Amino acid sequence: MNGGTIEAPTIEYALLAPMLIVFGAAIIGVLVEAFAPRHLRKAIHMPLTLVALLGAFLLTILQAVRDGVPTTPAAMGAVAVDGPALFIWGIILILAFVSTLLINDDEQFVAQAAAVPGSNDEEEAVRSGYAQTEVYPLLLFSVGGMLLFPAANDLLVMFVALEVLSLPLYLLCGLARRRRLLSQEASLKYFLLGAFSSAFFLYGTALIYGYAGSIDLRAISSSLGTVAGQDTLLYIGTALLGVGLLFKIGAAPFQAWKPDVYQGAPTAVTALMASTVLVAAFGAVLRVFWVALGNLDWDWRPVMWGVAILTMVVGAILAITQTEIKRMLAYSSIAHAGFLLTGVIATGAVEQNRDALSAILFYLAAYGFTTVGAFAVVTMVRDAGGEAGHLSRWAGLGKRAPVLAGIFAFFLLAFAGIPLTSGFFGKYAVFSAAVASDALPLVVVGVVSSAIAAFFYVRVIVLMFFSEPAADGPSVAVPTVGTSAVVALAAAATVVLGVFPEPVLSLADQAASALFVR
C-alpha cells in the first residue's frame, strides 16, 4: 500500500476552454428548453448561443496570443490543441456565429417537428407562434463536436466527436418549415448514410487497434515501423477509416448524400453544414493521414490521387446538369473538397508539409465565408411557396435586385477562383503546394475542372443579369438585420481575403509552422 494515493490525470482546462464553453452553453440550452416558459425561450437561447460562440472565439485567440501554440497534446494525450487546431477552431467558431444569425430567422424552422403538416396540432402550433427553439442547443452541441473532431488525438475521441457533430445535424436537417417532405427525407438520407459511414470508420478503428495495439494516433504512427506481419489489418483498417472520413467531406465516390441533404435541409442549416463541417472534417482527415498514417503515405497516396481526381471531375461535371440552386452549390462544394484533397496529398519534407497545411487552412477560411454568404443570399430570394430554388426562377434577378444579384455573382466568382477574390488565393496556394510535391497531373486535372466549374458559375451570372425576368418571378425578401449582416460580413471577408490576403496567409503560416503535435 502506498498510502492510498493515486495519480490524478491532468486536464488542461484552460486549453480546452473554448470547447467546454460551447458544450456548457449547449447543456444550459437544454435546461432552458426544460424549464423556461415557451415565450421566453428564444429570447434566452439567442444571446446565450451568440455569447458562447463569441466567447469561445475570443478565448481561442487569447490562447494563441498569450501562450503561443502548445507543443504537447492536452488531456493526457487525448486532445491535441495545436496550431492547426486553434486556427480551425477560430474559423469554425466565426462561421458558426454567422450561421446562427441566419438560423435566427423563424421562417426557416418548423413550429413543432412532431406535428403532421395540415393537422390540427400543426395549426395550433403555428397559431400560437411557437418555434422549435431546440435548434439552438442542437447547433451548439454540433459545433462542440466540430471543435473536438479536428483536435482529437486518438480514434476514440475522434469517433465520439464525429457522432456529437453528426447526430444534431441529422435532426436539424429535418426541421424545415416549408417543403417538409423534402426536409425529412434529407434528414433520413443523411442519417442512414452517416450511420453507415461511421460504422465503416469504427470497423477501421477496430482493425487498426488490432494492428497497433492502441488507438492513440502517435502510437499508431510509431507502430508502423515496429509491428510486423499484420499488414492486412493495417491496410484494410486504413481503407475503412478513410471511407468514414471521406464520406464526411463528401469526396467521390462517397458524395451521393451531399446534393440531397443540402437541397432538403433548411437553408440556414445548409449554410452551417456546408462551411463548418467541411472545415472540421478536413482537420480530422489531415490529422489521421498525416499524424497517424504519415509514414504510410506511399501506400495511401495513389488511392488519394484517384479519389481527388474523381471528386474534382464529378463535382464539376455533375454541377453543370443541375437546375436547383442548392444542389448546384452542393456539387460545387464537392468539387472544392477535391481541390482541398490535392493539398492533403501534397506531403513531403517538413517544409513542404508546412506549405501544404497553411494552404489548406487558408482555403478552408476563404471557402467557408463565401459558402455562408452564398447560402444567405439563397434564403432571401423567395417565391410564394418559400425559397425559389429552381434556377429558372433566378432569371433576371439582376434587374429586380441588382445589389443582391451582384453580391451573389461575386460569391460565385470567388467559388470559381477569379483573381481579386478569396477563392483565387486559396486555389493558388493549394495548387502550388501540390506542384511542389510533384503532383503536376493532379494540378492539371484541378485546373481543368476549375475551368469546367467556372462555366456553370458564369451561366448563373448570365442568367441573373442578361435574361428577362419572369412575370411572376420571385421576390427578394427584405432581409432581417441578421441576414444582411451575414451577407455583408461574408462579402467583406471574400473581398479582403482576395485583395489583401497577407494577414490571414501569415496567420495560417504561423498556425502551420509547427505542424501537428504528436
CB 362 within 8 A of CB 501: yes
Please name the amino acid found at residue 209. Y
Q: 282-341: which residues touch another protein (CB under 8 A)?
A: 321-324
- Is residue 48 within 8 Å of residue 136, measured between CB atoms? yes
Residues in the chain: 518
Rounded Cα–Cα distance for residues 359 and 364 (Å): 9
Residue 235 interacts with another protein (CB under 8 A): yes or no: no
Mapping DSSP onto H, E and C, the string for 429-491 reads HHHHHHHHCCCHHHHHHHHHHHHHHHHHHHHHHHHHHHCCCCCCCCEECCCCHHHHHHHHHHH
Are the beta carbons of 154 and 220 closer than 8 angstroms?
Answer: no
Q: How many residues bind another protein (CB under 8 A)?
A: 58
Q: Which of residues 425-484 bind another protein (CB under 8 A)?
A: none
> Per-residue string for binding with another protein, 334-373, x by CB under 8 A?
----------------------------------------
For 416-442, give one letter per residue: b (16+ CB within 10 A) or e. bbbeebbbbbbbbbbbebbebbebeeb
To another protein, the closest distance from the beta carbon of 126 in angstroms equals 6
The C-alpha cell at 97 is 456565429
Q: Which of 260, 290, 407, 501 binds another protein (CB under 8 A)?
A: 260
Q: Which is nearer to another protein, 270 or 353 (CB)?
A: 270
Of the CA atoms within 13 Å of residue 212, those in its CB half-sphere come to: 26
Distances (CA, A) of 458 to 165, 411, 506: 34, 11, 31
Single residue of 133, 205, 342, 370 touching another protein by CB under 8 A: 205
* CA 74 – CA 302 distance, rounded (Å): 33
Interaction with another protein in 79-138: which residues (CB under 8 A)?
A: 110-111, 113-114, 116-118, 122, 126
Taking the complex as a whole, the smallest distance from the CB of residue 387 to another protein amounts, in Å, to 12
Q: Site mask, another protein, residues 177-196, x = CB under 8 A?
A: xxxxxx-xxxxxx-xx--xx
Query: Smallest distance, Å, CB 463 to another protein?
Result: 12
CB of 429 to another protein, least distance (A): 33
Among 392, 440, 444, 503, binds another protein (CB under 8 A): 392
Taking CB under 8 A as the rule, does residue 214 contact another protein? yes
The reply to whether 174 sits near another protein by the rule CB under 8 A is yes
Instruction: Kindly state the smallest distance separating residue 351's Cβ from another protein, in Å.
Output: 35
The secondary structure of 369-421 as a DSSP string is HHHHHHHHHHHHEEETTEE--BGGGGTTHHHH-HHHHHHHHHHHHHHHT-TTS
Q: Which is nearer to another protein, 113 or 453 (CB)?
A: 113
Q: Which is nearer to another protein, 207 or 416 (CB)?
A: 207
Binding string to another protein for residues 29 to 68, with x set by CB under 8 A, is what? ----------------------------------------
* Stretch in the footprint of another protein (CB under 8 A) among 154-162, 348-356, 442-450, 498-506: 154-162
Amino acid at position 48, single letter: L
Whether the upstream peptide bond of residue 253 has omega within 30° of 0, thus cis, is: yes
Query: Among 158, 171, 249, 416, which residue interacts with another protein (rule: CB under 8 A)?
Result: 171
The binding site for another protein (CB under 8 A) comprises: 110-111, 113-114, 116-118, 122, 126, 155-156, 159-160, 163, 167, 170-171, 174, 177-182, 184-189, 191-192, 195-196, 199-200, 202-203, 205-207, 209-210, 213-215, 259-260, 263-264, 321-324, 385-386, 390, 392
